[in-house]
Chains A and B, each alone.
Chain A
Amino acid sequence: MMKLKAFRIRNFRSIVDTGWQNISPDNITCLIGQNESGKTSVLESLKVFYSGIISEDVLRSDLSLPEVSCRFTIPKGWLINITDNPGTELKELLSGLTQLELTRSWIADLSSVINVSGEISQYLDSLEDAWRIYLNDVTIKLDEEMISIRDLETTFSGLIEEESDIRSKLSENEGAKSGFWLFWKKPAEVGNQKNSHFPGLKNKLNEIKKQKEEINEILLKKQLIKRAGEKWKKLEEKCTQADNHLKNISVKLEERHQKMTLLMRPVEDEEDYEWKEVLYDFRKTRSDREIRMAEIESHIAFSGYIIDGSTEEEAEKMVEEVIQSYRSHLNSAILGKKYFDYSPVFELFEDFGSLLPNRIDMEDIISGNVNVEGYKAARNFLSLAQVDYSFFQQPSSRILKQKIENLNHTLTHNFHDFWQQSIGRNNKIQIQFELDHYNASYEGKAGKPYLEFWIKDEGERLYPKQRSRGVRWFLSFYMELMASANIRDKQIVLLVDEPGVSLHARAQEDVLKVFEKIKDKIQIIYTTHSPHLVEINKLHRVLAVQRDDLDSRRSASRILDPLQLSLASPDTLTPLQSILGNPMGGEEFSSKRFNLIVNDTGSFYMLNAIILLMGFTGKVCVIPSTNVSSIPLLCNIMMGWGLDFSVLLFENDDEIQIAELLKNSVFKTDTNNKTELIIRMPENFLNSEDLLSTLDFKNHLLQSREGITVPNSVYIREKELPRNFILSRFLSNVKEGKIKATDFDEETLENFKLITGVFGELK
C-alpha cells in the first residue's frame, strides 16, 4: 500500500543533509560514487529508519543527531481508513493526500521516535501553535495578575505600617491628656498644641482603614488567582530543575559520543554500569519533564478560567474541554507510530548471512532456529520451491524423491533464466536438494531428517561451500530476492550494498535481470562501482554520491540526482562513462554550450537554419536524436556525461508520449526542473517544419505552388517526401545566403522568434 518515493537523510555519518532525493519510479535505484563517498551510509540510514537502532558510530563529529525521513506514495483516501477519529479538518486533509512523510529522529540517548511530517504535521503544528498562543496569552495575564496582587499586598502592608504609626501618634496624644507635666508647661497647654493635628490624624486613620478594606476585598477576590499563580511558579521551578538536570546529563552523553566518534575507540566495559545509570536517569528525567510540562500547560489553562472568574471546580472541568478543543488527540508521534505500521520493510541484503549451507536439520527449519548456520538461505530455498513442512510428510519415499527431483529440475530451470554463465561451453550448473536421515554414527541425531544441498554440473557434484564465492553469492542473492518477492505480503525496500563484487561482468548483468524480475514486488536500492550494474538507457535510476569537498574525507556527502550529474566529479561518474564512452570533443557535444536534444536530423537542419537566419548568437548546441524513441537514451547519455541539456518536443503523438515517459521516469525530480528540461512546442507545431508558414514551406522548401491545407509535417508524411533531404537543402540554401530572413512572411518570422526565444532562455 505504501511505496517509497523519496528519502531525506540528515546528520548520518558523512551526510549532513541530502535534501529530498526521489528514488526511481521504476523501483530500481542505483547509487554510484567513489569509496568513502557515503553510499553505504545512505543504505544504512534507510535501514535504521525502519529498525530505529543506531550506534554512536553513526554520529557526526559535531554530535548532531540523525534524522531520516521517507516519503511514501499512498492511495488517495487510504489514510482516512487507518486513522482513528481524525476530526473534520484532519479528515479533509487526509482524504486528499497521495503521499505521506514519516521522519525518524534520534535523541541524545540514541532512542528514536517516528513522527509524521510534511502536510499532516504542518496541520498538527498549526493546532499546537494555536494552543501555545492561547497558553502564552493566559501566561501573560497570569503574570500581570500576580504583579498586581503583589503591588496590592505591598500597598496593604504600607497602609498597615502607616496605620500603626498614626495610632502610636494618637496614643501619645491620649497620654498627654491624662495629665503629665511636660517640663514647665501644664498638660492642658501641651494638649492644646498637639490637638491641632489630632482631627487630621483621625481622618487619615479612617482613610487608611477604608483603603485597607478595599484592598482586602480585592485580595480576597484574587485569592484563587494568587493560589493558581503560586502553584504555576512552583511547577515552573520544578521544570527548570528538570531542564538543568537534563543539560548536565547531556554533557555526559556528549562526552560518551565524543569518545566514540572522535577517539574512534569503543567505550571500556567497566563504564557500562555507570553508563546505564546515566541513560536511565536521562530517560526518567526527560519523561518527568514531559509530565511536568503537561501539568504546567494544564495548570495555565486552569488559571485562565480562574482569572475569568470561574470557581476551581468549574475551571477543572473546563480545562479538559479547552485542551480537547485546541489539541487533537492525535499528534505527529501518535500518527507517525500508527502509519509506520504500514511502512514497507527496509531490508539490507547481507551477503553471507544468506549463503546456502551444505546441510541443515529439518528440526531447525521447522522450529525456525535462526541461529543455525544457513537457516535463512535454506528457508529461502524452500520458499522458492514453494515447499513447506507438509511436503516432507509424504509416506512414500519413492513419490517424495520423485517430487524432489521435479522440484530440483524446476528450480534449476528457473535459475538458468538469470544465470547465463556456463562452465566451459555448455556445462551449466544445477541446484539440488535432497532429504536424508542421519545414520547411527550421529549420536543423538540418528534417524532424524536433514536437507542436503548440492550445486552440480556435468562433471562434479559439490556442496555449496565447495563452489566459487561468485556462484554462492549469486545463488544466495537470487534465492533471497525471489523468496522475498514470493512470500511477503508487505512491500519491501531491499537495500543491497555493492552486489556482485565477486561476479564476472556477465553475471553482474544477471544481477540486473533479477532486479528487473522482482521490481514490481520489491523496491531496490543498491550501490555499485561496476558499469555492468548500470543500464545505459536507464540513467534515471542513478543517484551519484560524492563529498562536497572532493579533497577532504571530512566534508559532508551530497547526493546528485540524474539531472545534476553535470556537478559530479569525473571519478564519481566513472561507471557511467565506462558504459557511455567519453564525451566527444569539439563543438558538437559540448559542456561549454547548452545542448538541446531534438527529435531527428531533419529538425537539426531546420533549427540550425533558424539560428543562422535569425543571427542567434547564444551558446546552444542542437543535438539530433536518431528518432523520437531514442530521445530517452540520448538524455541518459547526456546525464551520464554530466552535460547541461534540454529536450525540445513537438506536439505529435510520439513526442507527447515521450514527454510523459521523460517526466515520469527519466526526469524524476521536482516539477519545476522537469519543465525546464522538457520544452514543449505549442500544439500547432507537430514538427520542426511547421515553424514555417504554409506559404514559406511551399516557396522555400518545396518550391511548389500546390495548395496545402494540412500542416507542413503532415503534408511531407502523406506525400512521402524525403524530409531530411528537403530540410538539409533548406539549411544549405540558408548557409549559402540564397534564403534570407526577409524572404519569410510574418507568421514564419514570429515562429522563428518564438524558437530563438526558447534558445535564449536555455541556461
Chain B
Amino acid sequence: MSVEKQDNPGLLSLLPDKEMKDHIASLRYAKMIQHALMPNPAMLKGMLKDYFILFLPRDIVSGDFYYAYCTRQKMCIAAGDCTGHGVPGALMSILGISFLNEIMQSDVNLNANRILNLMREKIMKALHQTGDYRDAQDSIDIGICIIDCPTGKLQYSGANRPLIMIRNGELSEFKPDKMTLGVAPIREASFTNLCIETKPGDSFYLFSDGFSDQFGEITDKKFKYKHFKRIIHSFEELPMEQQKQRLECAFNEWKGNTQQTDDVLIVGFQL
C-alpha cells in the first residue's frame, strides 16, 4: 500500500510529489509528538484489572485523544473528541491534553465536573472565546472518570460524551451534559458530577463518536450509537484485549472500503 493510501492524506495528494512527501514526513513527526503526549497505556496496568484503548485516527494525526493520570489514591481517565480531525483536531487535542495535565497537577482532588469547568475556562481563554458569534467555534467533547482507588468510587462528568457501564452483564448509560468545552450558543453552566459506587468486575467505556458515526460501505448509513452500545454489550464477557480486537474487526467490517469518517477512540477498563 502506498504512503498516500496508508495515511489517507487527502488534499496532500494534490501537492507536487516533493512537497507532499515533506508534508507527510512532517505530519508523521507530529503524530509521534501527539502520541508521546498521550499517556503510555502501560501506566494503567497496575491500577486497573484490565483495559484496552482502541485508537484509530482518521488521518496521520488525530482530533481524538485519551488521557490518564494516576496517583496512589486517584486515577483519572478521559477520552476526548476535538472538533474536526487531522491537523486542527490534533492541535485542539494537544491543547486539551496540556490543560488536563495542568489541572490535574495543580490539584488531584478536584471533582470530575470541576475539572471540566476549569478546562472549559482554559479553552475559552486560549481561543479568545467570549460568546461573540465571530469567535472561533472550536471545542472539545470529553468524558472523564475519576476513580478513588481506596473506596472504589467513580466520578463521571461528560461534555457531550457519555459513559457506559456494564455490571453483571447489564449495560447502563450515564448521560453527559449537553455542553462542550468551549463556547456554545447557550451560556455556560456547571457540568454535572455523577458518583458511581463501583463493584469489582464492573466495566466502563469512554469513547468518541467516531465509531457510531462511521458510514458503512454497504448501507451508506451511520453505524449509530444504539448499535455501538449493543456491540459493546455483546462483547462484555470477553477479556478487554479481545474486546478491542472484536471492536476493531467490527469497525473495519462496517467501514469496508469507504473512507473513515472521523477519528475513532474507545477506552475500555475494568475495575
* Chain A interfacial positions (CB closer than 8 Å to B): 693-695, 698-699, 704-709, 745-747
Contacts and interface: CB of A to CB of B under 8 A. Distances in A.
Contacts of B252: none
A707 B182 CA distance: 9
Contacts of B129: 705-707
B114 interface: yes
B255 interface: no
B114 A707 contact: no
B172 interface: no
A746 B131 CA distance: 23
B118 A694 contact: yes
Contacts of A746: 113, 190, 193
Contacts of A698: 188
Nearest to B121: A707
Given A695-B188, A705-B130, A747 B114 contact: yes
B183 interface: yes
Contact of A709 (B122, B187, B188, B193): B122
Nearest to A696: B190
Chain A to chain B: the 9 pairs with minimum beta-carbon distance, closest first: A707-B124, A707-B125, A745-B190, A705-B131, A707-B121, A706-B130, A709-B122, A709-B125, A709-B121
A707 B183 CA distance: 9
A708 B123 CA distance: 9
B120 interface: yes
Nearest to B192: A746
B122 A695 contact: no
Contacts of A694: 117-118, 121
B11 interface: no
A706 B124 contact: yes
Interface of B: 113-114, 117-118, 120-127, 129-131, 183, 187-190, 193
A704 B190 contact: no
Most buried by B among A694, A699, A704, A705: A705
B190 A695 contact: yes
A695 B125 contact: no
A301 B118 CA distance: 77
B2 to A, nearest CB: 43
Contacts of B122: 707, 709
Contacts of B190: 693, 695, 745-747
A521 B72 CA distance: 55
Contacts of B131: 705
11 contacts: A694-B121, A695-B117, A699-B188, A704-B130, A705-B129, A705-B131, A706-B129, A707-B125, A707-B126, A709-B121, A747-B190
A708 B125 contact: yes
A705 B187 contact: yes
Contacts of B127: 707
A693 B187 contact: no
A747 to B, nearest CB: 6
Nearest to A747: B114
A747 B189 CA distance: 12
Contacts of B118: 694, 709
A142 to B, nearest CB: 62
B117 A707 contact: no
Contacts of A709: 118, 121-122, 125
A710 to B, nearest CB: 9
A745 B189 contact: yes
